[in-house]
Structure 1
Amino acid sequence: MTATLSVDTHAHVFLRQMPLAAARRYAPDFDATPGEYLDLLDMHAHSHGVLVQPSFLGCDNSYLLSVLRQHPRRLRGVVVLEPTATEAELAALAAQGVVGVRLNLVGLPLPDLRQPSWQAFLARIRALDWHLELHRRAADLSALITAAAASGCRVVIDHFGRPDASLGGKDPGFAALLRHADAGRVWVKLSAAYRNAGDPPQVAAAAARDCARQLLAAFGPQRLVWGSDWPHTQHQHLASYGASLAALGDWVPDAAQRQQILGATAAELFRIPFPY
């Protein structure tokens, strides 16, 4: 394992024969094993990784938790839960290395996070100093962020905030995301730019670079993190682990800022002690 603190904050592990959620957009036809992922971390000199519950597994976090138990020093987890999850249930998850809850809302109705049941759930997340991870197109993010921030919990935005492919950094929803930087409780993942792309590769790369520079100017390296999005589900033909890491060098040219993003910022947000 590398002795330098470096964190990949977004990856998935699963087996194709696992029971899938009834409501899903996608079913994998391959395995993404913990062994493969740990080998990639080693190959690319990352000390730690964060496993995010895939949407197609729903709220059955059992496989992710089993992997965290096997690698408690190196891996952290972000799970999918119903808002009815109790304080005791959350505490048990925290003891296993869980540090956040994901709301993957792509293709789903928007929840009203202002409702008392959601605010109570978010308060329980805040009490553990976890974060709420939001995956939704940029146009819908601002209202979700405002409602979540009312609880005081940390908010992490997936995949650049998912700006519209035809608008990129000119998406009004993306501009609204930038304005949330002033609140101080919002982080953004520089990850999976290919999920926001609809143009030829060179145009898509330029759009991702523009969005990254805007995010860096607004949030600074103190509230940006990087994720590989391995194994790049539905985009395996467009992406690889090495290419995802190389893209960070294009998005954030300054080496010191990249190290802040990969190291101290990620370690603090995902509760990773260092030295380990």
Structure 2
Amino acid sequence: MSVPSPRTPGWLNWYQNPSTPSFRLPRGTVDAHCHVFGPQAEFPFAPERKYTPCDASKTQLAALHDHLGVSRAVVVQATCHGADNTAMTDAVRASGGRARGIATVRPGISDAELRELDAAGVRGVRFNFLRRLVDTSPKEDLRTIAKKIAPLGWHIVLYFESADLPELEGFFGSLPAPLVVDHMGRPDVNHPADGPEFDRFLRFVGAHDVWVKVTCPERLSVTGPPALHGERHAYTDVVPFGRRVIEEFPDRVLWGTDWPHPNLTGHMPDDGLLADFVPRVAVTSEQQQKLLVDNPMRLYWPGEDV
């Protein structure tokens, strides 16, 4: 048995004692963006990884969901595991049908391997364009993957920085599958939510079959978490961006925790506060029901009851 690697220096562990949200999540809420890390002793991390995290197991993820009142989950392959999807599919299989998976695959993957992932509950692949997390994202390789998954009815999850959208938009629009964008395309919240940069992103969403994850205010915020103990209004500067996406595309928005919050350096968020962020961007009960239940059910469990 190999000796576990030490975590990356300065790595922030996930918040061990999340508060109880003031906002009561509706029945059937889906966490549409979360991860598992290892445990490393059982599911080793990829040799080519850019970071070594702490363990964050499927059991610990389930405990968080029970605490928050989350019913279902979409487990997104973590970059620390590379294209070995074993830890992710193990978590999905253990859910008894209440989780789906998003995989990372290589262009040489066979149809039989894709069918095996589909049977395990995988419903999409992730294309990562953040240079600090992956070395390269060669477009021809990604186009090959997109063609292979299209017959399965899967979608493509896109992770990119807002400044890179002008360069990538044409490529994204050429892909033969529905698209899901992580973290609202990572807007620069120093710029206005009604400014040209975010306008361009929303035009891209409107012009294609694109879903948007209204997630990770803790990654986007400049103002950060609440300064006063007990204050529930965190990440105020991200609110206008979330509201605008939800108002313009109420039937194509998703929500997730991003637990266990990889690669954060400033602070580790309280997941109870992230749940309380929801009614600040989805301000009506109808918007909340679509964001948290109806939309993810339609995308990941079509035809199933909550």
Structure 1 segments (4+ residues) deviating >6 Å: none
The residue type paired with residue 9 of structure 1 is: A
Residue 111 of structure 1: aligned partner: 137
1:148 shift after superposition = 3.0
Query: Which of 182, 190, 196 is equivalent to 1:166?
Result: 190
In structure 1, distance between residues paired with 2:205 and 2:274: 24
Aligned residues with identical type, % of pairs: 30
- Cα distance per residue 1:41-82 (max 9 Å; x no partner): 222222211111111111111111122222231111111111
1:264 and 2:288 correspond: no
Say which SS state the counterpart of residue 130 (structure 2) adopts.
coil
Contact 1:58 1:80 in 2 (8 A): yes
- Cα distance per residue 1:231-254 (max 9 Å; x no partner): 123449331221111111111111
1:22 shift after superposition = 3.6
1:137 shift after superposition = 0.5
More helix per residue: 1 or 2? 1
User: 5+ residue gaps in structure 2?
Assistant: 1-24, 227-232
Over aligned residue pairs, what C-alpha RMSD do you find? 2.6
User: 5+ residue gaps in structure 1?
Assistant: none
In structure 2, distance between residues paired with 1:73 and 1:90: 18
Contact 2:30 2:296 in 1 (8 A): yes
TM-score under structure 2 length normalisation: 0.79
Matches within 5 A, 1:17-32: 17=41, 18-28=43-53, 30-32=54-56
TM-score under structure 1 length normalisation: 0.87
1:109 shift after superposition = 5.7
In structure 2, distance between residues paired with 1:127 and 1:155: 15
In structure 1, distance between residues paired with 2:69 and 2:224: 31
Residue 156 of structure 1: aligned partner: 180
Residue 254 of structure 2: aligned partner: 225
In structure 2, distance between residues paired with 1:226 and 1:184: 20
The residue type paired with residue 270 of structure 1 is: Y
Aligned CA distance change for structure 1 residues 252 and 131 (closer, same or farther; 3 Å): same
Aligned CA distance change for structure 1 residues 35 and 182 (closer, same or farther; 3 Å): same
The residue type paired with residue 104 of structure 1 is: N
In structure 1, distance between residues paired with 2:166 and 2:33: 22
Aligned CA distance change for structure 1 residues 171 and 23 (closer, same or farther; 3 Å): farther
Matches within 5 A, 1:1-276: 4-14=27-37, 15-17=39-41, 18-28=43-53, 30-107=54-131, 108=134, 111-113=137-139, 115=140, 117-167=141-191, 169=193, 172-201=196-225, 205-218=235-248, 220-235=249-264, 237-271=267-301, 273-275=303-305
Q: How many equivalent pairs are there?
A: 271
The residue type paired with residue 166 of structure 1 is: N
In structure 1, distance between residues paired with 2:250 and 2:60: 29
Say which SS state the counterpart of residue 232 (structure 1) adopts.
coil
- Cα distance per residue 1:118-159 (max 9 Å; x no partner): 333212222211111111101113543432332330111111
